[in-house]
Amino acid sequence: MGLFKPAWQSKNIEKARRAVERMTDQQKLKLVVSEAKFPEIQALAVNKIAYYHTQQTFVDIATSNYDVIVCMAALNKLTLENHFSSVAESRSHLEVCMAALNKLTLENYISDVAKSSSHFEVCMAAFNRLKSEKYYYDLAKGAFHVDVCMIALSRISDETLLKTLVLRDAYKLPVCVEAVKKLTDLSALGEIALSGRSKEIRIIAIEKISDQEILAEIALKDKSWEVRLAAVKNLEHQETLAEIVRNDTDKDVELVAIEKITDQSFLVDVILEYDKIYWGYSGEMPVICKKALSQLTDQRLIDKIVRESTQERLKEVALEKLTDQQCLAELARIYSNADDFSTEIFWESIIDKITDQKILTDLSKIQDNLKGRLKIYTQMDNCDKKVIEAINELLYSSNWSERRKGISMMENLLKNDCIAAKMFWKLIAEVAETKHEDIHKGHFDNGGNQSCHGDHNDHTDTGNSITFPPYPFND
């Protein structure tokens, strides 16, 4: 370490300036550029470096972290377009980069600056000097700033260039997405829908096409469920939709597919296929099955579901959709003589949906069960509420005094020549006869059991038993 410091390193700027002005040694001048204490002294040294030195020396200085005046001094020593381009593309000071750009005259170098400069302002200044679509394409393909890519893309109208960008050249997803949106060529869109590099790109292309063959291939084969879903939304081909419902692994895709199926027979097939599987402990209807049933409108096919389903919940929901009176009448006949509680309840649900009075009348004639005939009667337009009340009291009350009230009500109705009362009185007698019970002699005890004692004329009340009154007509 020596005690002597060169004059150009002096803290006195004028002393340093005089020392550099006298300097001719090129290596010392380069040393001054890198180690002098004042930017003005560094810039002075740059100006004294001879031109016979490689231009790269000035490029290195211009693109370094030196002060602006040092970089500008180096830039002003440059003469070649490629060197101006290197400075303009660098991370040097914005002012230096902009000055370098202004020195460029060749469009290919200007395009390089627009594509690669770290300064957005420089990129846009360079972009605004471009006129050729081929340079716009190059920028859209891979400019450093995505905004530059997007602005360049907005200047491209050639469909072939747009397709190539999407399928091969563009590096940034937003550019690809926007390029697909600009495309109108259906062939190009179909190719992108099949082989686009990302699911986002494929989905946008799918949304713009209607080619059923392409959509079917995508809906059946694409690995992304989102892409398959987009294809299904535009798909109309019924057989393909049916295959998707049967085979796709994603419920959302299946659900959209089933929504687009109009073939009623296939909907029935789907429902009955689900009928065969276990619905879980809760018995909740599977979503696909529920959707298929909601789209079923053919009454004969709904009737088929009611008849063939083994799932109680499915039968109930299908019955809710059934309105055809003849179908309901046929079902009522099938379930008319139910021998278990659940079947009886289902039969009553069928009767609740029948409004055709002739059908109700016909059903009442074949109904052997008194309770069943009573249910049918309540659906008829000429239903007498008093008759219903009397019969309910008579047949279903557990208290003997309430049964006696029902008998009394029935007697009064008979005295007033109530046709419905006559009909049910006779029916009670018929039911009793089939059970080998003499209802004219019998009476009901307080436990609800009918016993046979007393003769035809015995109508007395003995304790907790009530004598059932005889039928008072000769017809």
pLDDT range class, residue 109, cuts 50, 70, 90: very high
pLDDT at residue 465 above 50? no
Q: Is residue 366 part of a domain?
A: no
Is pTM beyond 0.75 here?
no
Q: Is residue 315 part of a domain?
A: no
Q: Are strands 450-451 and 443-444 parallel, antiparallel or unpaired?
A: antiparallel
* Cα torsion 302, 308, 314, 315: sign: positive
What residues does 444 pair with on adjacent strands? Answer: 450, 466
Using DSSP, state whether 336 is helix, strand or coil. coil
What local confidence, expressed as pLDDT, does residue 6 receive?
86
Residues 6 or more apart whose CB falls under 8 angstroms from that of 18 comprise 7
424: tokens are 């049910």
Q: Is residue 2 part of a domain?
A: no
Q: Which of 209, 232, 267 marks a domain boundary?
A: 209
CB 156 within 8 A of CB 132: no
The more confident residue out of 459 and 342 is 342
Percent of the chain with pLDDT over 70: 78
Annotate 446-468 with DSSP letters as a single string. Answer: TTS-EE--S-TT----BTTBEEP
Using DSSP, state whether 98 is helix, strand or coil. helix
pLDDT range class, residue 452, cuts 50, 70, 90: very low
First to last CA, the chain: 145
Q: Is residue 142 part of a domain?
A: yes
Q: Is residue 49 part of a domain?
A: no
The more confident residue out of 309 and 433 is 309
What residues does 443 pair with on adjacent strands? Answer: 451, 467
What local confidence, expressed as pLDDT, does residue 368 receive?
72
Quick: pLDDT tens for 232-265.
999 999 999 999 998 999 999 999 999 999 999 9
What local confidence, expressed as pLDDT, does residue 336 receive?
81
The listed range with the strongest mean pLDDT (32-36, 99-103, 309-313) is 99-103
What local confidence, expressed as pLDDT, does residue 267 receive?
93
How many Cα atoms sit within 13 Å of 23 on the Cβ side? 28
From the list 222, 218, 248, the residue with the least C-alpha distance to 231 is: 218
Residues 6 or more apart whose CB falls under 8 angstroms from that of 138 comprise 111, 115
In angstroms, the Cα distances linking 320 to 160, 303, 315 are: 57, 11, 9
78: tokens are 């440059």
- Identify the domain containing residue 143 by its residue range: 132-209
Number of Cβ within 10 Å of residue 94's Cβ equals 15
Quick: pLDDT tens for 178-199.
999 999 999 999 999 999 989 9
pLDDT at residue 35 above 80? yes
pLDDT range class, residue 399, cuts 50, 70, 90: low
Please name the amino acid found at residue 87: V
Q: Is residue 21 part of a domain?
A: no
Using DSSP, state whether 33 is helix, strand or coil. helix
Quick: pLDDT tens for 135-180.
999 999 988 999 999 999 999 999 999 999 999 887 788 999 999 9
pLDDT range class, residue 73, cuts 50, 70, 90: very high
Number of Cβ within 10 Å of residue 473's Cβ equals 10
**Number of domains making up the chain:** 2
Q: Which of 175, 209, 243 marks a domain boundary?
A: 209
What local confidence, expressed as pLDDT, does residue 460 receive?
38
What residues does 451 pair with on adjacent strands? Answer: 443
Average pLDDT rounded to a whole number, residues 369-386: 75
Using DSSP, state whether 136 is helix, strand or coil. helix
pLDDT range class, residue 282, cuts 50, 70, 90: low
Q: Is residue 365 part of a domain?
A: no
Average pLDDT rounded to a whole number, residues 73-99: 94
Annotate 183-211 with DSSP letters as a single string. Answer: ---HHHHHHHHHH-SSHHHHHHHHTT---
In angstroms, the Cα distances linking 246 to 242, 254, 368, 386 are: 6, 8, 45, 55
Quick: pLDDT tens for 318-367.
999 999 999 999 999 988 876 777 788 898 899 999 999 899 888 888 87
Average pLDDT rounded to a whole number, residues 98-117: 95
Q: What are phi and psi of 466, to 5 degrees?
A: -130, 130
CA 438 centroid distance within chain: 68
221: tokens are 């084969």
Query: In whole angstroms, what is the distance from residue 160 CA to residue 165 CA?
Result: 9
SS3 letters across 356-378: CHHHHHHHHHHCCCHHHHHHHHH
pLDDT at residue 418 above 80? no
Query: In whole angstroms, what is the distance from residue 468 CA to residue 364 CA?
Result: 24
What local confidence, expressed as pLDDT, does residue 389 receive?
64
What local confidence, expressed as pLDDT, does residue 371 receive?
74
Q: Rounded mean pLDDT of the chain?
A: 83
Instruction: Report the run of H or E that residue 443 belongs to, with start and end.
Output: strand 443-444
What local confidence, expressed as pLDDT, does residue 400 receive?
65
In angstroms, the Cα distances linking 234 to 9, 256, 259, 301, 373 are: 77, 10, 12, 27, 53
Q: Which of 177, 209, 241 marks a domain boundary?
A: 209
Q: Is residue 277 part of a domain?
A: no
